[in-house]
Amino acid sequence: MSDKPVSTPPHSRCQFYLEKKKRQCRMEPLPQQTFCAQHVPQLDNERVPCPLDPNHSVFKRSLKKHLKKCNARNRNGHNVTFSSFCKFNLFIELKCEVYIDQNINVVSKEEEEHDQAKISLRDIPREKLLNLIQRVESVELEEIKECVYDHPVVRKEIERCTSISREDSGPMRHLEQQASLIGTIKKHDLLKPHSCFVELGAGRGKLLHFVRLASGDCSDFLAVDKDNTRLKFDRFHKNTEDSQLERIKADIANLVLENVPIISTRKKPIVVVGKHVCGQATDLSLACTINAMVKHKSFNKSMSERNHEQDPKSKRQKLETETDAPKEKQKEFAVGVRGIVLAPCCHQVCKWSRYCNPEYFRSLGFTPFEFRCISLMSSWAVCGTRSSKEHESDEHDQQSCSQSAQILDSKDEQETSSHVKKSWLSQKEMELIGFRCKRLIDMGRLIYLRQHGFEAWMQFYVPKSISPENVVIVAKKLE
């Protein structure tokens, strides 16, 4: 960039030349100045990348003030400590919270390159895609029963909302799902007092709020989400000696659950819950829960220690020391897990490198590329028109489906590949294939839980008219 100051102020416009836009700045200049407040020359106008998020920069002179209010401050559990040793220089040290360890819950860390390539179903030959669909249909899946429950705590809120007679049915659908989920938790004897209920992907924490009302005042509650959310339901909870609520901002991929203060200090058995846990977040949630049952050896280590562990000799020495160590010490920090109730969704964004049980798909003969195709086809289960879902037998709705199919066919190649309408597949066939792809992905999750000592199954927890994503994964720890 170059500036073009003029020696005879004032000017009606700032005289700074924007090289990128090929024009002068259009802001008004400061009084008796040739430049606006943004472009006025200063001695300390050097900009530096923000140490918390290098995607944005800040004036070096304002760095200390910026770090106190940066939106990325707690995104990965960072604590910022800094000391001023010069007028315009800061020594900045980033310290992670004790419950943060980068990608600790990622199962297949070495296979992330499979997720980088962009795949479009329209580019796959018809014969190859048909063969993949036939292989998916040949896999034996467990029968899913419909188990719709209710709970008086949420039912009371539903009746209150009904009396208001809102036109928007969205809140009612969410309440029906929450009522069934809490009823499921109670049905399987997981709504016990003196527990710690953990909601992963909590958002506003409304499900956890109803769990608190249903479980009483003798349990603890932990809400985990990677984003800041307004109008949180945490404000309705008052911490007491017997009941504590804590909210942390962290990515589930980096969460060391057993080191969260409310779990490590109070040491209550945990029950993990979640409603519409999106895509790979379900896999990370399951891996996070399983890892919490065993102490993490790699927690809070320096980069030099981790690089040292990559050496084969150091790995061999580590295995020898772990086998020689007493079993009591190895399980000293294990967390007791009573059960898991997670309602997954958005299977089309699942990634091979973060899927909790890639060995299951390998045993069925599927490659990482085919796994990605299966995850994309899973969106067919929920991408139909509203009319086709509510009145599948109505002729008018069949016509609307065909019309929407023609519209989908006419769109350009920039449309999302998961919504591709194949002319040789009807809308009903696409929905059935998509549903089977979803259940195949969920089946691998069930097997993963069973391999780690859980009794796990799937069930329909609400009718499809309430939500097309109406399957919940339930798991209880075997005694």
Q: E strand or H helix at 146, and its extent?
A: strand 145-146
Q: Are 370 and 132 spatial neighbours (Cβ–Cβ below 8 Å)?
A: yes
Residue whose token pair is 């992330």: 112
* 355-398 pLDDT per residue, tens: 999 999 999 999 999 999 999 999 999 876 444 444 333 333 33
d(CA 324, CA 29): 73
Q: Are 304 and 267 spatial neighbours (Cβ–Cβ below 8 Å)?
A: no
First-to-last alpha carbon distance for the chain, in angstroms, is: 69
Of 157, 479, 216, 197, nearest to 341 by C-alpha is 197
Task: Give the strand pairing for 23-24 and 78-84.
Answer: unpaired
Residue 375: half-sphere exposure toward Cβ, Cα within 13 Å: 26
pLDDT for residue 390 = 41
Bridge partner residues of 47 (DSSP):
59
| Mean pLDDT computed over 291-315 | 47
Of 385, 441, 420, nearest to 126 by C-alpha is 420
pLDDT for residue 147 = 92
Task: Give the strand pairing for 16-18 and 23-24.
Answer: antiparallel
Is the predicted pLDDT of residue 352 greater than 60, yes or no? yes
d(CA 169, CA 472): 22
Angle formed by the axes of helices 368-377 and 427-451, to 10°?
130
pLDDT for residue 305 = 44
Torsion angle, alpha carbons of 396, 398, 403, 407, to 10 = 140
Least confident of 23-27, 43-47, 189-193: 43-47
**How many CB atoms lie under 10 A from the CB of residue 435?**
18
Least confident of 32-46, 81-95, 440-454: 81-95
Q: Give 295's contacts (C-beta < 8 A, 6+ positions apart).
A: 258, 330, 331, 332, 333, 334
Q: Is pLDDT larger for residue 296 or for residue 368? A: 368
d(CA 197, CA 216): 12
* 222-265 pLDDT per residue, tens: 999 988 888 899 888 888 888 999 999 889 998 999 889 999 88
Give the C-alpha distances (Å, rounded to integers) separating 99 from 20, 191, 245, 248: 43, 26, 16, 10
Q: E strand or H helix at 81, and its extent?
A: strand 78-84
**How many CB atoms lie under 10 A from the CB of residue 372?**
21
Is the predicted pLDDT of residue 321 greater than 60, yes or no? no
Is the predicted pLDDT of residue 118 greater than 60, yes or no? yes
Bridge partner residues of 224 (DSSP):
200, 248
pLDDT for residue 440 = 96
Give the C-alpha distances (Å, rounded to integers) separating 50 from 41, 94, 96, 351, 400: 22, 12, 16, 30, 51
d(CA 16, CA 13): 9
pLDDT for residue 402 = 37
Task: Give the strand pairing for 196-200 and 270-278.
Answer: parallel
Is the predicted pLDDT of residue 100 greater than 50, yes or no? yes
Residue whose token pair is 């109406």: 470
d(CA 212, CA 242): 13
Is the predicted pLDDT of residue 126 greater than 80, yes or no? yes
What distance separates the 2 farthest-apart alpha carbons in the chain? 86
Q: Is pLDDT larger for residue 345 or for residue 387? A: 345
Residue 406: half-sphere exposure toward Cβ, Cα within 13 Å: 5
Structure tokens at 182: 């809490």
Structure tokens at 39: 């472009």
* 435-467 pLDDT per residue, tens: 999 999 999 999 999 999 999 999 999 999 899
What does residue 16 show for φ and ψ, rounded to 5 degrees? -80, 135
* 403-436 pLDDT per residue, tens: 333 333 333 333 333 344 455 788 889 999 999 9
Give one DSSP letter per residue of 397-429, joined into a string. Answer: HHHHHHHHHHHHHHS-TTS-GGG---TTS-HHH
* 149-204 pLDDT per residue, tens: 999 988 888 888 877 765 556 688 899 999 999 999 999 999 988 999 999 999 99
pLDDT for residue 5 = 46
Task: Give the strand pairing for 145-146 and 454-460.
Answer: parallel
Name the range with the highest mean pLDDT among 91-95, 191-195, 304-308, 388-392.
Answer: 191-195
10 Å CB burial of residue 339 (0-12, 13-18, 19+) is buried
Mean pLDDT, rounded, of the chain: 78
Give the C-alpha distances (Å, rounded to integers) separating 15 from 2, 22, 27, 45, 62: 10, 13, 9, 17, 25
Is the predicted pLDDT of residue 309 greater than 80, yes or no? no
Of 225, 281, 241, nearest to 233 by C-alpha is 225
User: Could you tell me the pLDDT band of residue 42, with boundaries at 50, 70 and 90?
Assistant: low
d(CA 79, CA 93): 8
Is the predicted pLDDT of residue 10 greater than 60, yes or no? no
pLDDT for residue 404 = 35
User: Could you tell me the pLDDT band of residue 92, with boundaries at 50, 70 and 90?
Assistant: low
pLDDT for residue 115 = 64
Q: Give 323's contacts (C-beta < 8 A, 6+ positions apart).
A: none
pLDDT for residue 222 = 94
